[in-house]
Chains A and B, each alone.
Chain A
Amino acid sequence: MPMHIGEKDFRKRVSKGISDDYMRGAVRSAQERLQNRRAAAAEELGDWEEWRTLGQQIRSHTIEHLDYYLHQLSDKVAELGGHVFFAETGEEANEYIKQVIQKKNAKKIAKSKSMVTEEISMNAALEEIGCEVIETDLGEYILQIDDHDPPSHIVAPALHKNKEQIRDVFKERLNYKKTEHPEELALFAREKLREEFLAADVGITGCNFAVAESGSFALVTNEGNARMVTALPNTQITVMGMERIVPGWEELDIVVSLLTRAAVGQKLTSYITALTGPKQAEEADGPEEFHLVIVDNGRSKILGTEFQEALHCIRCAACINVCPVYRHVGGHAYGSIYPGPIGAVLSPLLSDYDEYKELPYASSLCGACTEVCPVKIPLHEQLIMHRRKIVEDEKKSTLAERVAMRGFEQIVHSANLYRTATKMAPFLTTPFAKNNRITKGPGPLRNWTDIRDLPQPANERFRDWFKKRNKQGGAI
């Protein structure tokens, strides 16, 4: 699956998202739950702001010296007997992975969740050479079984599907006979996938964080599949985005603690697995052969620009979980495997404005994303910078778009104006509303009402909603 998913046309994707009632309900409750859990975990920790400051310091230092730390990491991995391949493009990465697999004459590949392999369409490349690639993360497995339905959230990829749909997919494809209870569905997947783990020739994982000083890398999971993938097959390939690295173990502690709290409100997930090289002498399980593939695929274009901080991202999805626009349109509307605020910042950078010029506008600039980001990436400022660049680049937008964008920018630049505009929106827009959805907006908002959450003007504004939310706090 490439980075781009779904319909080419942004508006079509959005309207599809808006009309999918189940998905929108699921997104809303998932957001609430995850957001509450994050808030509770942050509160419990006490010095959340200090933790964020530390996270930010670690991430900026590491990215500022990325060349040094990648050099150190690769030296260490090679010292331990692992092989390191630096891939500038997705094709280079896939070519190398194919070679390794062909040399082993391997057919069955067990894979644990990895966004970067999605980004470079690795599965398709391996299927081309006759391999069977099995996704072993429960959510990814469900999507794979269902004809490669694209993911809609970076932490909970099958969020848009309900349990009845999952039951039907299992029934149809795997001859499943039981009910739609999540326990039964999960148990069934456990049994099915057990066989696959034991039979797989090669295990492929992503990488949450590599540790430069020791040549290690850590996987943060709950299900245990990444442990299987790294314990049973004889050959292991780990694919990492080049920015997913920290200097030492002291820093690993911080980014992992931030990630698990911000992503799912857990102090630690069930499994944090830190792997260092292939298995050593006198060890029965673990891979005999280890390959680390470090992928650029557009990331280095971001270095040294005003968007460098986007590379600090630790993929926790906290920004997605608070985003009122994501809440409204769902993950698929973004047309990228990276949805939500971070997706709106990152997708145009990794790809280009031609493909993703609408995304920076898929935001109400309420700033909730920036507030929750555990490593303090100024997401909404980055979105504004994108908009400026897009507008400056006259060739990239039609006259109507330019006018609308400027008007919109003026509005959001003034908190007062924003309030007025959104407060007025309910009655101003009533004549345009259809089924409680606004299809056309007034004045400068016209072009954006169908893609922006003008937080359901009929009910409450996002800021109010968010304030209320925060006060309610949350039980896990």
Chain B
Amino acid sequence: MKGSIMNRDRFLTNIRTKIGGLTASQPVEKPVWTVSPQKKVLKDYTPDQLVEVLEEQCQHIHTDFFRTSSNSLEKTLDEVLNHYGAKSVIYSNDERFVSYQLNPYFESSLSTGREIYRWNEKDKETSISFAEKADVGLTFSDMTLAESGTIVLFNKKGQGRSVSLLPRDYIAIVPKSTIVPRMTQATSYVQEMVDNGEDIASCINFITGPSNSADIEMKLVVGVHGPIRAAYIIVDDK
């Protein structure tokens, strides 16, 4: 479905006369920028060094940091959920929960009285109302930025926007291979998709720790509208 465009000609003609612009049919060449400081940041860092940077950054963004192997992921996750007092958990519909063999854990968790729900993109109402009351939202990270301590989520299909937003706490499982130096790598990845004419996710979220605000007397309050606490679990790749 194509949307409408209203009032464009008049508006752009006015701009064009002011700046002496070209007609829109002539594409503008983006210049080559003379400097690119962003490409130098954490350049040549090994994956392990990037993990270190990420761990250090987590301290600045009020985020709990855990590291584990893929074999112990279930155990670590269980510990973190207990630590957070999670009685109800919502997780995204992501096949990595299967490949990291977390499904049996979720099933056994149910028997211990913990409510577990998988985001269902076909059932908006139930999904949102569960997420809204859940103690913990759980997702895998699609890309992880070491410099800023950021989880990048390409929110589409089963990777619902609300899973990392509405619950009280947010836990991200971070496969080590998803860690890159900084935002530059994530934006280049998206740029490439755009250049190739591929669809990008309708919502790409860069999440850096829990929500916060300094709107009252400039004092930092952690936990405003989004999650109040956040944890990253770094896991060696499967």
Contact = CB atoms under 8 A, between A and B. Distances in A.
Interface of A: 26, 29-30, 33-34, 45-47, 50-51, 53-54, 57-58, 61, 63-71, 74-75, 77-88, 92, 96, 136-139, 142, 156-159, 162-163, 166, 182-183, 185-187, 189-190, 193-194, 197-198, 213-214, 216, 222-225, 227-228, 230-232, 242, 247-250, 252-254, 256-257, 264, 266-280, 282-286, 290, 294, 296, 300, 303-304, 476
A227 B205 contact: yes
Contact of A87 (B4, B7, B132): B7
Contacts of A268: 145, 148, 150, 183, 206, 208
Nearest to B24: A71
A280 B216 contact: no
A185 B28 CA distance: 50
A19 to B, nearest CB: 20
B132 A198 contact: yes
Interface of B is mostly: loop
Interface of B: 1-8, 10-12, 14-16, 18-22, 24, 27-28, 30-31, 33-38, 40-41, 57, 60-61, 119-124, 127-128, 132, 145, 147-150, 155-157, 160-162, 165, 183-184, 186-188, 190-191, 194, 199-219, 221, 223-227
Given A227-B161, A271-B207, A78 B2 contact: yes
Contacts of B215: 137-139, 142, 156-158, 223
5 contacts: A87-B7, A270-B61, A270-B207, A283-B157, A284-B162
Contacts of B14: 88, 296, 300
Given A138-B224, A214-B194, A248-B194, A284 B160 contact: yes
Given A53-B35, A257-B38, A247 B216 contact: no
A206 B119 CA distance: 29
Contact of B128 (A85, A87, A285): A285
Nearest to B199: A280
A120 to B, nearest CB: 15
B194 A286 contact: no
Given A183-B221, A193-B225, A269-B208, A79 B30 contact: no
Given A61-B31, A224-B211, A270-B211, A213 B194 contact: yes
Contacts of A280: 156, 199, 202
B37 A47 contact: yes
Contact of A250 (B22, B191, B210, B219): B191
B44 to A, nearest CB: 15
A137 to B, nearest CB: 7
Most buried by B among A58, A163, A186, A214: A186
